């Protein structure tokens, strides 16, 4: 595990449960955005017309 990931883990470990859950939600949001950002543009649905 990298030093950065170890520091992140230690920081999350010290958070109250509610904040740790919010951090987890934010990480999921970042992962989702990364997938969308890196997906081929022709796979992304931008509007209703793209569904037809």
pLDDT at residue 29 in the model: 96
pTM score of the predicted model? 0.63
- Could you list the mean pLDDT of each consecutive 10-residue stretch along the chain, which spans 52 residues? 92 94 95 85 73 72
The tokens describing 8, both together, are: 């992140």
- Distance, in Å, from the CA atom of 9 to the CA atom of 20, rounded to the nearest integer, reads 11
pLDDT at residue 48 in the model: 76
Residue 28 DSSP symbol? H
């Amino acid at each position: 595990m990298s030093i950065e990931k170890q520091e992140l883990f230690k920081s999350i470990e010290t958070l109250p449960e509610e904040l740790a859950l919010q951090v987890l939600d934010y990480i999921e949001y970042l992962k989702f955005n990364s997938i969308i950002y890196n997906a081929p543009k022709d796979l992304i649905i931008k509007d209703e017309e793209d569904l037809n």
